[in-house]
Structure 1
Amino acid sequence: MPQITMIAAAAENNALGKDNDLVWHLPDDFKRFKELTTGHHIIMGRKTFETFPKPLPNRTHIVITRKKDYQKEGAVVVNSLEKALELAKDDPQPFIIGGGEIYELALPEADKIELTRVHGTFEADAFFPEIDEKNWTLVASHFHPKDERHNYSFTYLTYQRAE
């Protein structure tokens, strides 16, 4: 069984982004995202996929959409989370990478959450679901201060589904 991991950067008010874009720029978080997801299946909604200038290298892109005839080069297109997870079943750790609606759908299926908690609150139109502490155990936490390359401090949080 693969370990399904949700990976996201969300503000203290769970804001993910606005108008299909992130509301912050955190190079070290992008670097960590790349390190964790390279070589794996990344599962996302159509709007998230369309924010990429081109498919991310060395990853299998699975795009979930309700649009029946949607096709994009570099992506496997499916119409449900179940179908996406079925396609990723041979990957020991497929990643759910957004957006808000997809995270909401995937939360009950996820085994792990890699969350970058951006310290601030932002106006947004996409949000990460609330993490219920009864269902999740924080297993790792690493603080990253604000610096010349990062306008906000943030903390990498790793949650494991509680037994």
Structure 2
Amino acid sequence: MRIIGIDPGYAIVGFGVVDYIGGKFSVKDFGAITTDKDTPFPKRLCEIYEDYCQILDNWKPDALSIERLYFTNNQKTGIDVAQARGIIIMAAAQRGIEINEYTPLQVKQAVVGYGQAVKKQVQEMTKNILKLPFVPKPDDTADALAMTICHAQTSGSLLRNIKTSNI
């Protein structure tokens, strides 16, 4: 299964593309889509969409793993991130890619085994699990790769539960 993980944003969209086959991970690509703060917001969304579509068309993932949005104190930022997240989900849906959403707690649990883990712990475990020589930067990229691990771990357990319940 090829998974694309996304850490949504509008200044930086972290992405990671990972194959998960036979319980083993193989990193294919990772990085960040960035937009300039001086660019009008609608144009930033267009830039994200175009760059993201190029990544999807190049790697042809089977599944999208994206962080479920939660609002913090700044609702304007949250709304802008929600708009960027919407075009990310739409582009995947247009291509028939399975869409999966996970909370930060679920990602921490899947990657570290502890839902209250701190960001540095998640990043180090992501590096170790994916056998990377370094923690990817920016942080959004490391977070996106953690999303791929979360989906791989979660989808496997869901499949085991389905098979077990049918026996």
User: Normalised by the size of structure 1, how large is the TM-score?
Assistant: 0.32
Higher share in strand: 1
Task: Name whichever structure is richer in helix by fraction.
Answer: 2
The higher-RCO structure (CA 8 Å, 6+ apart) is: 1
